[in-house]
Structure 1
Amino acid sequence: MKYGLIAALVALPLRALTSTAFAAPTAYPLTIDNCGSNVVIEKAPQKAVGLGQNSTEILLMLGLADRMAGSAIWVSPVLPELAADNQQVHRIANSTPNFEAVVARDPDFIAAQFLTSVGPQGRVGTRQQFADLGVPSYVSPTDCAVTDNAVSDGSRKKMFSMDLLYQEIGELSRIFDVADRGEKLIANIKAREAAVRARVADKAKDVSLVYWFSSPEVAGDAWMAGKNGASGYITQVLGAKNIVSSEQEWPLVGWEAIAAENPTVIVIGTMDRRNQGADDPAVKKQFLTTDPVVSKLDAVEKGHIVEMDAQAMNPTVRTITGLETVAASLESFGLLK
């Protein structure tokens, strides 16, 4: 990959990157406006639980493994550079745990990737339930920007901005009184984004893409990325076009509609999860190359299929890697003009 050096620098553990970053210590109690609720943090958490892979990985990137009581809701393996620290953190569940399983870890803070985990109809529990036990909860600002997402993926009215991710990193680092680490992590992600923009921004004006996360059934309607999510951001940076125009985060789209648009490139999500029909990327590729209609698409016939970490298709710390992956692939396909 063209961006390996930059990625390698960012992959260094945060404790190795913080020697030159200084920030004022957090003054407690700290109050943060989070998803329309005031979250009050009386002191730096010592037994945090991450609900959602991205929330957990941010905490690990901030060097907080020793201040975590558990994690849950995983889609892919932990980032390799975080594997050792992740081994120190109790895995409550790979999927969605129940309220009792989380409370059994005696947490003093909950970091949730999605409102569906802790919202009014939270699949794990509600924010009020945790608050009643004296446990503050924090929801990723990337999900706060989505509407109608209490029980589903919802819709995003405005294009996702990395500023929402930077807000999340900054706020979590202040909550844990490690703001210097947050600033350094943000600076490194920004540097990676700037490097991609300088190299390939707006060079894919003739390219159309579709991002396939998964499907309930392999040959049935597929969950494709809507126009304003993390995949939309990637497409916007490249100056390309997402053939899906829906504001829904993950609309179900029929293959007839996709075939009618005949995208230049098909991006397929890779993951370890196996609870939906098309979670396995090998299954996706087999369908693309054997279905009598889909196999005739230009992207399939020309081999313009990109495998990308499914987590990068959601607004996460992996989205920057997704941008690098798609940019490098388009370059290798000779599609950047």
Structure 2
Amino acid sequence: MHRNVAIGLAALASLSLIDAAHAGETKYPLTIDNCGQSITFEAAPERDVTVGQSATEILYSLSLGDKVVGTSVWFSDVLPEFADLNSGIERLADNDPSFESVVAKKPDLVSVSYEWHIGPQGIVGTREQFHDVGIPTYILPTDCVKDNSAGVDGTRLEMYNTDALYRAIRELAEIHDVKENGEALVADLSKREAAAVAKAKETKSGDVSAVFWFSSAEMDVDPYVAGRKGVPGWMMEKLGLRNIVESDEEWPVVGWETIAKANPDIIVVAEMTRRRFPADDVEKKLEFLKTDPVAKEMDAVKAGRILVMDAHSMDPSIRNISALEMLADELPKLK
């Protein structure tokens, strides 16, 4: 076995406990169908590299941090409970790592949050490039139901839902022979998800519209806002909100005049430590909303119906649940 299973004193361990422990073990070789490819593992990976914060935090949450030898693509600070762990693991890049830097870590597995990083048009590399040098890649299923053919964060073919997130957790747990950890994590997240939805239903009243602003390439250009099928669209559907944006793109660019005309009741802005674009800074977002001649006239700005949300919660990740909980708590206060 590749983990310790506490079954009490050996002299008192019952046959049923031993059978249960073996039932939870992964049987190798293990073949997983992943984003249109089959990947086979002869044993649990001992060295992991992650390309994407979501993949990193899933592995940490599965108690697999000791297997991670390199991380990359960060939007926000790591979850506080993993700060000490993460500080001892090499960060290959804040944003996009090079193919060479990933390969140099000699990983047994590269776990990927977004296909546009490692995929048919991957800017880090294609899956075939990694497989040719004997390194398997696993793309989170949350990104497999999108058209990423243009080499960017693409168009969703169906609404995001946490089934794909929970599948990612279970499969990474199975690959690493920690299936019990995966089931425990899924059970906790799904319980919290259901409670947040129930709370929202108890307090929801009337038609409430919203827009989620992730960032902007420049402060004075049209912003990247949430399409209707991504994570924010899922949140809005779960909580009974109406998205003013009707695009199926993950983060379409929409003009402020169009947003102001729709006049959303609530504006949710992303907060992140990444600084790829000027509008990554949440303070600059808030200042823009209060001073721009068009944006400042929206009712949500005048009334202060602006919520700040962790940016990584707006992309598929285990943070989706805490963001859903935050919205369920805050929405009644904004009436």
**TM-score strictly above 0.5:** yes
Match of 1:103 in 2: 103
1:46-85 alignment, distance < 5 Å: 46-85=46-85
Q: Find the counterpart in structure 1 of residue 270 from structure 2.
A: 269
Please report how far the alpha carbon of residue 201 of structure 1 lies from its aligned counterpart in structure 2 after TM superposition.
2.7
- The answer to whether the Cα contact below 8 Å between 2:197 and 2:328 also exists between their aligned partners in 1 is no
Is the counterpart of residue 197 in structure 1 residue 200 in structure 2? no
2 CA distance for matches of 1:185 and 1:221? 38
Aligned counterpart, 2:237 = 236
CA distance in 1, matches of 2:89, 2:108: 15
Structure 1 CA distance, aligned partners of 2:148 and 2:247? 14
Q: Distance in 1 between matches of 2:283 and 2:307?
A: 12
Q: For the residues of structure 1 that align with 2:330 and 2:118, how far apart are their CA atoms?
A: 37
User: Would you say the 8 A contact 1:141–1:164 is kept in 2?
Assistant: yes
Cα separation, 2, equivalents of 1:182 and 1:204? 36
Structure 2 gaps, min length 5: 9-16
2:258 is matched with 257
For 1:205 and 1:108, how far apart are their aligned partners in 2? Answer: 52
Structure 1 runs not aligned, ≥5 long: 1-14
List aligned pairs for 1:6-155, cutoff 5 A.
24-149=24-149, 151-155=151-155
Deviations along 1:2-52, one digit per CA (max 9) or x if unpaired, are xxxxxxxxxxxxx9xx99996520011110110000011111000010100
Deviation for aligned residue 1:205 = 4.2
Q: Distance in 1 between matches of 2:257 and 2:87?
A: 44
Q: Decide whether the 8 Å contact of 1:73 with 1:96 is kept in 2.
A: yes
TM-score (norm 1): 0.91
Q: Tell me the alpha carbon deviations over residues 285-305 of structure 1, each in whole angstroms, 9 at most, x when there is no partner.
A: 000001122111110001000
* SS of equivalent residue, structure 2 residue 74: coil
- Provide closer, same or farther for how the CA distance between residues 24 and 316 of structure 1 changes in structure 2, counting only shifts above 3 A: same
Query: What is the rounded CA distance, in whole Å, between the counterparts of 2:46 and 2:87 in structure 1?
Result: 17
1:94-133 CA-partner distances (Å, limit 9, x unpaired): 1111111111111110000000111122111111111111
CA shift digits 1:247-270 (9 cap, x unpaired) = 000000000000010000000000
Listed one character per residue, the Cα deviations across residues 190-226 of structure 1 (whole Å, up to 9, x for unaligned) are 1111111221138254110000000001121100000
Contact 2:121 2:149 in 1 (8 A): no
Secondary structure, aligned partner of 1:168: helix
CA distance in 2, matches of 1:101, 1:150: 24
The structural deviation recorded for 1:180 is 0.3
Partner Cα separation in structure 2 for residue 205 and residue 173 of structure 1: 42
Corresponding residue number in structure 2 for 1:322: 323
8 Å Cα contact 1:238/1:327 also seen in 2:
yes
Match of 2:296 in 1: 295
| One-letter amino acid matched to 1:309 | D
SS in 1 for 2:147: coil
Letter in 1 for 2:71: S
Which secondary structure state, in structure 2, belongs to the residue aligned with residue 278 of structure 1?
helix
Task: Spell out structure 1 runs of 4+ moving beyond 3 A.
Answer: 18-23
Describe the shift of the 1:283–1:325 C-alpha distance in structure 2 as closer, same or farther (beyond 3 A): same
- The question of whether the paired residues in 2 share the 8 Å contact of 1:119 and 1:150 is answered with no
C-alpha RMSD over aligned residues: 1.9
Contact 1:48 1:67 in 2 (8 A): yes
Q: For the residues of structure 2 that align with 1:141 and 1:53, how far apart are their CA atoms?
A: 15
- Separation of aligned partners in 2, 1:300 and 1:116: 35
Amino acid at match of 2:108: D
Q: Does 1:157 align with 2:157?
A: yes
Aligned-pair identity (%)? 47
Greater CA deviation, 70-79 or 151-160?
151-160
Mapped partners of 1:120, 1:206: distance in 2: 41
Indicate how the Cα distance of structure 1 residues 204 and 325 shifts in structure 2: closer, same or farther if over 3 A, else same.
farther
**Paired letter, 2:137:** S
The worse-fitting range, judged by mean Cα deviation, of 249-258 and 147-156 is 147-156
Deviation per CA, 1:47-90: give whole Å up to 9, x if none: 01010000001001111111111111111100001112212321
Q: CA deviation at 1:149?
A: 4.6
**Aligned equivalents of 1:88, 1:183: Cα separation in 2:** 27
Q: Which amino acid aligns with 1:143?
A: D
In the alignment, the residues of structure 1 paired with residue 169 and residue 311 of structure 2 have an alpha-carbon distance, to the nearest angstrom, of 20
Matched-pair contact (CA < 8 Å) for 1:78–1:86: yes
Residue 183 (structure 1) aligns with: 183
The answer (yes or no) to whether the contact 2:116–2:148 under 8 Å persists in 1 is no
How far apart, CA to CA, are the structure 2 residues paired with 1:180 and 1:262?
47
Number of residue equivalences: 319
Structure 1: how far apart are the matches of 2:257 and 2:26?
54
Pair 1:312-2:313 in alignment: yes
- Distance in 1 between the 2:51 and 2:160 partners? 21
Normalising by the residue count of structure 2, what TM-score does the alignment of the two structures yield?
0.92
**1:104 partner amino acid:** A
Looking at structure 2, the residues matched to 197 and 324 of structure 1 have their Cα atoms a distance apart, in angstroms, of 8
